[in-house]
């Protein structure tokens, strides 16, 4: 698939909802449909972005909430300019694990910096790119954290209290209410087979249009 602009798909949701698992599933669907794509993530996706990711998630790190927002935004600016836009312009699809909705949810609502402030910062930085489709994997906060409990040391953000994640979850769901044409909410608490069937259905129209 190299004709025309590619599609931009993002995966969003709290910890442990299955973004990585379902990203692999979507990648397999794109492969089956013979669609050329770039799989990537935020924060990260470029060498500088991956360095910023290490800084911002370091378990023993400390920083102002505004610094956290600026680092997430800086990573995104690099990512869009060096990876996402060039791929889309070349006709490739881009599948991204988290994007701007994550800053709205975590920094805007979780950190209580303000959803509008986060959106305004991105506008000021010239970030106008919007996904064509966002798969919002949603489930109760505690259930996601339970799934993650088996993993190693939590990162700096994963150490936050339940109320932080609850605010982030509500902000994600609000994004879905405000942009229903873009955001599809998937019940991530169901069995993996059921979740993947929902993901497949959400993608189907886009895959058919190519």
What mask of x and - would describe binding to ligand Z5A in positions 1 to 20, judged by CB under 6 A? --------------xxxxxx
Longest dimension (CA), the chain: 47
Q: Residue count of the chain, please give it.
A: 210
Work out which of 59, 89, 179, 192 binds ligand Z5A, going by CB under 6 A.
192
CB-based contacts of 160: which residues, under 8 Å, 6+ apart?
A: 110
Pick out residues in 97-156 that bind ligand Z5A (CB under 6 A): 97-98, 102-103, 106-107, 147
Judged by CB, which is closer to ligand Z5A: 179, or 192? 192
For residues 122 and 100, what is the distance between their CA atoms, to the nearest angstrom?
8
* Signed CA dihedral, 59, 101, 166, 110: sign only: positive
Task: At 112, give phi and psi (nearest 5°).
Answer: 60, 35
Query: Closest approach of Cβ 99 to ligand Z5A, in Å?
Result: 7
Size of the site for ligand Z5A (CB under 6 A): 23
Roughly how many angstroms between the first and final C-alpha of the chain, as a whole number? Answer: 8
Quote the least distance from Cβ 140 to ligand Z5A, whole Å. Answer: 13
Asked if 23 and 144 count as a contact pair (C-beta separation under 8 A), the reply is no
Of 87-95, 128-136, 191-199, 202-210, which part binds ligand Z5A (CB under 6 A)?
A: 191-199
Residue 44 Cβ vs ligand Z5A, minimum distance, rounded to whole Å: 8
Nearest to 95 by CA among 32, 33, 168, 22: 22
As measured in angstroms, the least distance from the Cβ of 139 to ligand Z5A is 8
**Rule CB under 6 A: which of 46-85 touch ligand Z5A?**
57, 72
Radius of gyration of the chain (CA): 16
Binding site for ligand Z5A (CB under 6 A): 15-21, 42-43, 57, 72, 97-98, 102-103, 106-107, 147, 157-158, 191-192, 195
């Amino acid at each position: 698939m190299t004709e025309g602009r590619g599609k931009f798909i993002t995966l969003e949701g709290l910890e442990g909802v299955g973004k990585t698992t379902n990203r692999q599933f979507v990648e397999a669907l794109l492969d089956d449909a013979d669609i050329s794509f770039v799989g990537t993530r935020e924060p990260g996706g470029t060498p500088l972005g991956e360095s910023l990711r290490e800084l911002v998630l370091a378990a023993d790190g400390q920083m102002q909430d505004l610094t956290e927002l600026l680092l997430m935004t800086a990573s995104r600016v690099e990512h869009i300019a060096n990876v996402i836009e060039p791929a889309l312009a070349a006709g490739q699809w881009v599948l991204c694990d988290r994007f701007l909705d994550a800053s709205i949810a975590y920094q805007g609502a979780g950190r209580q910096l303000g959803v509008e402030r986060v959106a305004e910062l991105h506008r000021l930085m010239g970030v106008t790119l919007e996904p064509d489709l966002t798969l919002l994997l949603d489930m109760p906060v505690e259930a996601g954290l339970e799934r993650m409990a088996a993993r190693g040391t939590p990162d700096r953000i994963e150490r936050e209290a339940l109320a932080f994640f609850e605010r982030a979850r509500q902000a994600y769901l609000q994004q879905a209410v405000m942009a229903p044409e873009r955001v599809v909410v998937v019940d991530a608490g169901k069995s993996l087979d059921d979740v993947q069937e929902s993901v497949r259905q959400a993608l189907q129209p886009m895959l058919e249009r190519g």
